[in-house]
Chains A and B, each alone.
Chain A
């Protein structure tokens, strides 16, 4: 069964450093998403991406964040200058059209020290 994959599973970085989180969505999906989950809290939407551009973003997704689909398979989330409060699980998700169900990857745990 096709699945969303994410790398790395755990990333430790120092405050102020740049990180890139990588995702490989399900191959025939067209809509891609990033969500985050701070430990013990609910999942929060960050950004959605379709047709090589951002289609929707939340207040969390400020200028420190960017997304890119550098090739036909990868989808990345970059945090330019990490802050302590960026520590969370980051989930990538994808969905085909016209289905709404979003399939999530296993997540990347980001720890900012």
Chain B
């Protein structure tokens, strides 16, 4: 069956460093990917998305990279700040579906 999973459950970085959060997916039909940030007690907050016809997309301080060959997705956060501390989820979807399939999450801890 399809699955979306994350390599590391917890990532600890120093404030100001760059963070990289990784995600693997198994469904070859996946053509849309999205990263969410979830702070404690809150709902998932949209960060950035990318479609399968792209391999890179940049936002404000964030970059998503997509490698379809190895079915791998990453989220890069530049100059990580304490406010970036949260759990990050990748999610995927494919044409014809509206349901997002979420990964299990990576907790990002930013040390001051």
B43 near A56: Cβ-Cβ < 8 Å: no
Binds B, one of A62-70, A77-85, A101-109: A101-109
Nearest A residue to B32 by beta-carbon distance? Answer: A100
User: Are A33 and B99 in touch, CB under 8 angstroms?
Assistant: yes
Contacts of B91 in A (CB 8 A): 43
Interface size class of A (residues with CB under 8 A): 20 to 34
- Bound form: Cα–Cα A50–B91 in Å: 21
A58 to B36, CA, bound (A): 21
Q: Which residues of B contact A31 (CB under 8 A)?
A: 98
Tier of interface size on chain B: 20 to 34
How far apart are B21's CB and chain A's nearest CB, in angstroms? 14
Q: Is B76's beta carbon under 8 Å from chain A?
A: no
Whether A55 contacts B98 in the complex (CB less than 8 A), given A103-B46, A104-B43, comes out as: yes
Q: Is B93 an interface residue (CB 8 A)?
A: yes
A50 nearest CB neighbor, chain B only? B98
Judged by a CB distance under 8 angstroms, whether A48 is at the interface is yes
Q: Which residues of A contact B32 (CB under 8 A)?
A: 100
Query: CA of A48 to CA of B99 in the docked complex: distance in angstroms?
Result: 7
Nearest CB of chain A from residue B60's CB, rounded to whole Å: 15
